[in-house]
């Protein structure tokens, strides 16, 4: 990939082609629990290179506004979340969730100056335990997502958010890259046997197929919402083992489960060009998650420990992700790094803040990555020429990743058609 | 304000128009106690983007010199403060307070090389518990300031110095902005009732007027030394309550007291364009400060705790100034941030390193800020054209900020004329 | 020196003239003990602005390779050091010490993609307790060095490596500058009298001559391998006291001993343009080092304590090298900074990351520095025009620094000729 395409893909600030594209979609922003109640303390949040403050007003309406007061620029993070509005503590200007200046006590009562003042404000909605925002032009606002995890009851879902110190693209490419599971996450099969582990490992034969065939054949199909990615491995004489995942525009990836394990997925959202938010979601369409499942996911199976009061994992770049060389040497762990999510974090951050893709050498296992990049570039360019982006029809989001055996000769997207349909309440047992 | 004017106002390094203007005034540099005795250890000091070292020689003469030795650039901070000179420990070159190289033992005794070597040195004077320097061209050096706090006996004065992590201008604008007192510092009235508090709160009715009328009318008058700023609030049928403060070129602000409380003021001096020194001074013209007054000021009323061995407050950007959201929520404190000085620090730093003033929306309460900016720009431009800067006549510095009731119809600068005259030994009781 | 020459001398990344010159010499890279055994954990190493990873394979072959995997850029620091190769844990690509991709399990077995993949790899050799690398074009690779310390038995040698936070040139100039010893390291004579000290102080009269004559006359002679530097001091009526050191292209300096003390020297190698590696070596050509000698060198005489797991001294820039102002004031220590090596570190780093040499004022004591700069510039420019660099003939490295009395009138390079010849097993007792 050339330098120009890398720039196009990795720059997401206001006014950049990719930034403009991303602003046409609803963006997962905060866990709903981070703004726990009406009139709670405001939070800082950086998204797509913009510094924002989030608050929940007296009527439970949620706001995402510019961090800096339009008066003299003081941070509204220090503001008072008062009756139906956030008040800047510098001179008392108060703003409602729509950014209207509803009180300006530093000016004379007769002044109409406040009518001219508008705080930048983005619409925010709560759905599926997540707070969503839309940062594009109002007239193009699409419907909220219908991703399955956002539709199931709260008890069926576990979500988290963490900061990753690299560009969103190289993080998302990890989510598109089914091939690395056989290596980076090889542990899951071995280590977890000794601990709980059954949650993510499942009981099917899928793990065996993955370990047995480390160079799956990839088939990537363009679909309305993004990409459908099939990874084919040898199973037996008559069947292939297929792991089928989706990439949904512009940053969602879904992970095929093993057996009856909960479903999982990610969103990879730019904080700015050198950092991204990774949202992790796990859910079961048909039943509450068990305490055992939540415990294991929290303990690093999928989620992980963070430094108190931050979104930064305690295993991080400065401490080499607490790599244990003896464990790595012993072969008990392939990487010596504990936790699936931290393994991804370590390798993706190790590529540098914004990986220089003129140096890469892509193989056949990187087909999905190549396709997603093309799709993003194409969508950004077409948007510049006035075409609406793909994947805005939220009904198209009703999909699930699956793994299953299919007879040789059956095209994966046909054989798995029904299994891939997201219907909360139903469940397909993967292989 | 446009980008060009912002640049002009905020850039103060050598050769910049504002930097050249500032170099025509005496600059408060260090507390005298920071160089406690003859031949004490040298100190590092950064001023207007220049790295300096300060030392006090055997004869109590004070020097401010370039940090780096003219030989090979080693830092003179590590130097030995010897008999009437600072000796670089790298090769033994020794310099007196005027920057003359008085010993060069690394060269042969007959060498005259040292006569060609000159260490950059700025004149330094001690006055009012402060060490002052002058960084402009020698032939334009004005007389030392006659600000009142620098004239009173040491027992009548309390001064401190702290580092602020933003441009000097947005810090100084806080000092020019009487309006924010009704909001950011609203605490002083409430919180301090329960603690000592009487020192800054005073016993007059001034606090009530300030809380009762949050949108004072401003009148700003250009005077020889800078600006005279009157903030008018409603008092009773016949009188206005006036709070009158001065801004003295190029960076001094004075604060009107309440009742018999000590007088106070600030100097806002660039460290470089992203940092400034804030010098705080409190004084009583007619009597020593009491232990109670000093204690309260030290405890955050006006001064505050700093990390040992630094000039950085322990409440700072990294810890969100230890904001207490419960206290803020309760209404006991408007901000939840303890200490008047830290409240200013928090809000001013939250505007960013150098606030982008193309984004601001100034109201009538910002009149003094607008006037001071204009005055600075004008002075810098006129200096470029050869005109001497205003405010260099130190007798013009003999002014005090006051608060008082004046009959309606009486112009504030006339009604307060006598009260504003600084005459050490006398005292005017403010409202 | 002008800005252009400073740039030429201080920039050493790939493609720079000085960087190209340096890449024609073997480079000391790691202590052999840092890769203690076959298949041990890989290490990160930055050299001349390039991020590398070092590992020792199953057959004890050492590799220095690009840190980032050519596939998708993951860091090979996290790699597994397996049977005769380092395996990237992201997708399992495995590389041998020559950078060949010997396994690519993410691609189908029949794929020949791996034959097209080459990991950048530099030759590495172990000699004298040090791992050396060569980063230039293969056809110009010279023979390994014959510096004496690298030829003696391990028991006769003590080496260490530390990080210095400034450009290599100002660090190396300290090693070229015999003059600073009379000042910066004046301590060694006084302080160490009270502690062990005898190791570096020696028993000869050399120290007295050095303290007694602080402005030696320098004579610098160009020789094949670099420079021969004589510093002449007055001794008695008939003799001069000569301290003779060598600078060997492109970054080695040797230190004249006192009496029977071990010999010492340095290599000053760029990490990048703002950091350098300082390699310290001490050796005795004719006998093992004693426990007392090693203890004293380790305790700061020559080597020093580093923060666990790093190459950074515990006395560093952030803590002002733990300068003790009382000790400095008392005169017991000239600098108040403990340890010869840390004294150098402090002063050299205090010049800034890359010292701006347009500000320096060089005297007669800086003659060796001037000569070495000229030599480096000339060599870099001639290399650009196709001439081979000087000092590549490793037999020319067989030299020793010495100090001795010579009758007035005897040219130093002739009078010291035999004493300067490095012949492991023999020893010349310096003055």
In chain A (431 residues long), the average pLDDT of successive 10-residue segments reads: 94 98 98 96 97 98 98 97 97 97 94 96 97 97 96 95 96 92 73 45 77 88 96 92 96 92 95 97 94 79 75 92 92 89 94 96 94 98 97 96 95 96 88 84
Residue range A114-163, pLDDT digits in tens? 999 999 999 999 999 999 999 999 999 999 999 999 999 999 999 999 99
Please indicate if any CB of chain A lies within 8 Å of the CB of B180.
Answer: yes
Whether A73 sits inside 8 A of B355 (CB atoms) is: yes
Q: For an interface test with B, give the residue of C177, C361, C362, C373 to mutate (most B CBs within 10 A).
A: C361
Mean pLDDT for the stretch of residues B135-159: 96
The residues that bridge with C242 in the sheet, in sequence order, are C232, C404
Count of CB atoms situated within 10 Å of the CB of B222: 13
Residue with token string 């912002």: B6
Q: For an interface test with B, give the residue of C180, C343, C348 to mutate (most B CBs within 10 A).
A: C180
pTM confidence score = 0.92
Burial label, C424 (beta-carbon count in 10 A; 0-12, 13-18, 19+): middle
Q: Which of B70, B75, B105 sits opposite C350 (nearest CB)?
A: B75
Whether B363 sits inside 8 A of A104 (CB atoms) is: yes
C351 Cα to chain B: minimum distance (Å): 5
Please indicate if any CB of chain B lies within 8 Å of the CB of A312.
Answer: no
Please indicate if any CB of chain C lies within 8 Å of the CB of A213.
Answer: no
**Which residues on chain C are in Cβ contact (under 8 Å) with A343?**
89
Mean pLDDT for the stretch of residues B395-400: 96
Count of CB atoms situated within 10 Å of the CB of B240: 24
Contacts with B, A 89-148, CB within 8 Å: 89-92, 104-109, 111, 113, 116-117
Residues of chain C with pLDDT under 70: 188-203, 299-303
Distance (Å, whole) CA A388 – CA A386:
7
Q: What confidence score (pLDDT) does residue A5 get?
A: 95
User: What distances in angstroms separate CA B166 from CA B5, B194, C97, one per listed residue?
Assistant: 18, 33, 51
A297 Cα to chain B: minimum distance (Å): 31
Please indicate if any CB of chain B lies within 8 Å of the CB of C26.
Answer: no
**Which residues on chain C are in Cβ contact (under 8 Å) with A333?**
none
Whether A334 sits inside 8 A of C78 (CB atoms) is: no
Q: Which of A41, A74, A108 sits opposite B351 (nearest CB)?
A: A74
pLDDT at position B181 over 80: yes
The proportion of chain C whose per-residue pLDDT surpasses 90, expressed as a percent, equals: 78
Instruction: Evaluate the omega torsion of the peptide bond into residue A250 and state whether it is cis, within 30 degrees of 0.
Output: yes
Whether C92 sits inside 8 A of A217 (CB atoms) is: no
Confidence of residue B302 (pLDDT cuts 50, 70, 90): low
Mean pLDDT for the stretch of residues B237-243: 94
| Neighbour subunits, A (≥3 Cβ pairs < 8 A) | B, C
Mean pLDDT of chain C: 92
Whether C183 sits inside 8 A of B73 (CB atoms) is: no
Q: What confidence score (pLDDT) does residue B206 get?
A: 84
Whether C41 sits inside 8 A of A329 (CB atoms) is: yes
Q: Which of C170, C343, C364 sits opposite B107 (nearest CB)?
A: C364
B86 Cα to chain C: minimum distance (Å): 12
Distance (Å, whole) CA B133 – CA B128:
13
Mean pLDDT for the stretch of residues B328-353: 92
Please indicate if any CB of chain B lies within 8 Å of the CB of A74.
Answer: yes
The proportion of chain A whose per-residue pLDDT surpasses 70, expressed as a percent, equals: 95
Q: Is B71 helix (H, G, I), strand (E, B) or coil?
A: coil
Q: For an interface test with B, give the residue of A43, A69, A72 to mutate (most B CBs within 10 A).
A: A72
User: What distances in angstroms separate CA B5 from CA B8, B232, B377, C232, one per listed residue?
Assistant: 5, 30, 8, 60
Q: Is B104 helix (H, G, I), strand (E, B) or coil?
A: coil
Q: What confidence score (pLDDT) does residue A30 get?
A: 97
User: What distances in angstroms separate CA C367 from CA A207, B107, B222, C231, C364, one per listed residue?
Assistant: 71, 12, 60, 10, 6
A49 Cα to chain B: minimum distance (Å): 15
C185 Cα to chain B: minimum distance (Å): 9
Assess contact for C192 and C301: CB atoms under 8 A. yes
Mean pLDDT for the stretch of residues B267-291: 96
Q: What confidence score (pLDDT) does residue A192 get?
A: 39
């Amino acid at each position: 990939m050339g330098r120009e395409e890398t720039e196009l893909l990795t720059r997401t600030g206001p006014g950049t082609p990719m930034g403009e594209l991303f602003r046409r979609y609803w963006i997962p922003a905060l866990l709903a629990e981070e703004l726990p109640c009406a009139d709670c303390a405001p939070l800082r949040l950086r998204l797509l290179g913009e510094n924002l403050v989030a608050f929940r007003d007296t009527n439970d309406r949620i706001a995402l506004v510019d961090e800096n007061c339009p008066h003299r620029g003081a941070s509204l993070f220090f503001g008072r979340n008062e009756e139906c509005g956030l008040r800047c503590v510098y001179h008392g200007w108060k703003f409602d969730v729509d950014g209207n200046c509803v009180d300006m006590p530093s000016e004379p009562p007769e002044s109409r100056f406040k009518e001219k003042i508008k705080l930048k404000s983005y619409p925010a909605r709560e759905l599926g335990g997540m707070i969503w925002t839309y940062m594009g032009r109002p007239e193009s606002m699409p419907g909220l997502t219908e991703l399955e995890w956002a539709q199931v009851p709260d008890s069926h879902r576990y979500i988290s958010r963490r900061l990753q110190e690299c560009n969103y693209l190289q993080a998302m490419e990890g989510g598109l890259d089914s091939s690395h599971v056989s290596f980076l996450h090889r542990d899951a099969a071995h280590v977890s046997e000794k601990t709980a582990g059954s949650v993510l490992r499942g009981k099917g034969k899928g793990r065996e197929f993955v370990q047995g065939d480390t160079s799956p054949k990839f088939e990537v199909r363009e679909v309305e919402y993004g990409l459908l990615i099939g990874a084919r491995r040898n199973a037996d004489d008559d069947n292939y083992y297929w792991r089928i995942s989706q990439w949904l525009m512009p940053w969602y990836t879904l992970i095929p489960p093993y057996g009856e394990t909960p479903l999982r997925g990610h969103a990879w959202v730019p904080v700015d060009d050198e950092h991204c938010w990774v949202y992790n979601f796990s859910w079961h369409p048909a039943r509450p998650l068990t305490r055992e499942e939540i415990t294991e996911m929290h303990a690093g199976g999928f989620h992980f420990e963070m430094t108190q009061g931050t979104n930064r994992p305690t295993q991080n770049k400065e401490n080499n992700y607490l790599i244990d060389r003896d464990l790595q040497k012993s072969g008990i762990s392939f990487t010596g790094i504990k936790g699936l999510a931290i393994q991804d974090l370590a390798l993706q951050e190790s590529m540098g803040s914004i990986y220089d893709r003129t140096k890469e050498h892509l193989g056949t296992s990187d087909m999905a990555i190549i396709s997603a990049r093309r799709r993003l570039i194409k969508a950004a360019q077409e948007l510049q020429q006035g075409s609406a982006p793909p994947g805005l029809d939220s009904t198209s989001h009703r999909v699930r990743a699956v793994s299953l055996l299919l007879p040789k000769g059956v095209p994966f997207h046909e054989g798995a058609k029904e299994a891939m349909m997201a219907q909360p309440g139903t469940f397909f047992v993967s292989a």
